[in-house]
Amino acid sequence: FEEGRDLLEVVKESEAMVYLSEDDLNSLKPENYIGLAPQIVDSVIAYIEEVERQERT
pLDDT tens, residue by residue, 32-47: 555 556 767 777 788 8
- What phi and psi values does residue 29 have, to the nearest 5 degrees? -60, 140
pLDDT at 49 over 50: yes
- According to the model, what pLDDT value does residue 51 have? 85
- According to the model, what pLDDT value does residue 45 have? 80
- According to the model, what pLDDT value does residue 1 have? 46
DSSP state of 36: S
Cα distances (angstroms) measured from residue 5 to each of 8, 10, 57: 8, 7, 23
pLDDT tens, residue by residue, 1-25: 455 666 667 666 666 556 666 776 6
Say how far apart CA 20 and CA 11 lie, in whole Å. 9
